[in-house]
Amino acid sequence: MEIELSYLPVLPRERSTPIGCIGAGFIMSDCHLVAYRAADFNPVAIADPDAAKRTAAAERHRIPRVYESAEALMADPEVEVLDIAVPPDRLLPVIRQAVQHAGSLRGILAQKPIGSSFAQAAEIVRLCREAGIVLAVNQNMRYDQSVRACKDLLGRGLLGEPVLATVEMRAIPHWMPWQESQGWCTLRIMSIHHLDTFRYWFGDPDRIYASVRPDPRTRFSHSDGICLYILEYDQSGLRASAWDDVWTGPSREGAGEDISIRWRVEGTKGMARGTIGWPRYPDRAPSTLDYTTVKDQGAWHQPRWKEVWFPDAFAGPMAELLVALETGKAPALSGEDNLGTMALVEAAYESAETHAPVSPHKFLEGV
């Protein structure tokens, strides 16, 4: 029997809430704002120190007010929600400025990772909590259509008790210039998506084992280029694992190309497998989901959709924040929840350094 899976975001009743956008780079101009216009959200202002970028984004997306600095935008009395897309090492200073406008400013959507460390993330969450500002984090892979559809399968119990889950990423990211000064690479930028997805599907693991090595192609200093890790769940016995391979062979150096992202969830009553379409961006390649259950007599179900992660799914996190402001309920992507993801990333770094399992829970004690 075919069922209709839930894979789209819940949209707010009121979509005219004025949004101020901080940052006019690729992720804002080509993803956030494209998705916001398609969803009829209301970006009213944008700020970026680069005059060409902010002007181009404002003209492209019909944004009426343009500012040189984040501070100037925050002083705009019409702005009620901030969408912040700045490098992680610059996020905390922006948040410190933003909380000074509590009252007129009601909500913030911050790009992941929220800071360059767990300590910075915890400080950002504390500042927003004390100011009474609702903080959501743009963990946008949760709004990839196949990821959400799999969550629906799990919620319906169609797969039974999860036994093993895997993500295999063979893709070559375009590293941004700001990353060269960070000293880290894949775990906080790419793996954070997969770690957060495992948390979204299954909850918090008890520990993580991680092993990393540098990527031969990435020239700036880093240890975590190619990343392998295993998550252990004691109560259920579930194991979740990912191979985040940003090398993918010498395809940029003249060899053939084999690029994809595939995921798989095996349960006691069924199995789901999927692909992530993002590596083919800017081509519109929808992610996919296939699933089968013990009642299907060997048959596979293959629901499909036209929406894609980049840029369509970027409406989801903002929609979640706007719904939270309407209902007074915390968003699932709240800053408090995201501390669990940041703790898992921090534990992965420590595990890779010590060659030992590390519990993410120790980072959350006293937060």
Q: CA 107 to CA 327: how far, in whole Å?
A: 13
Provide the pLDDT for residue 367. Answer: 87
Domains of the chain as residue ranges with CATH: 18-141+315-333 (3.40.50.720), 145-308+342-354 (3.30.360.10)
Q: CA 171 to CA 257: how far, in whole Å?
A: 10
Mean pLDDT (the chain) is 97
Q: Is the pLDDT assigned to residue 1 strictly greater than 90?
A: no
Which tens digits make up the pLDDT trace of 212-245?
A: 999 999 999 999 999 999 999 999 999 999 999 9
Which residues have CB under 8 Å from 301's CB, separation 6+?
Answer: 2, 290, 291, 292
- From the list 269, 148, 244, the residue with the least C-alpha distance to 197 is 148
Q: Token digits for 232?
A: 């252990």
DSSP letter at 11?
A: P
Which tens digits make up the pLDDT trace of 85-130?
A: 999 999 999 999 999 999 999 999 999 999 999 999 999 999 999 9
Which residues have CB under 8 Å from 366's CB, separation 6+?
Answer: none
Q: What is the rounded average pLDDT of the residues 142-161? A: 98
Q: CA 198 to CA 239: how far, in whole Å?
A: 10
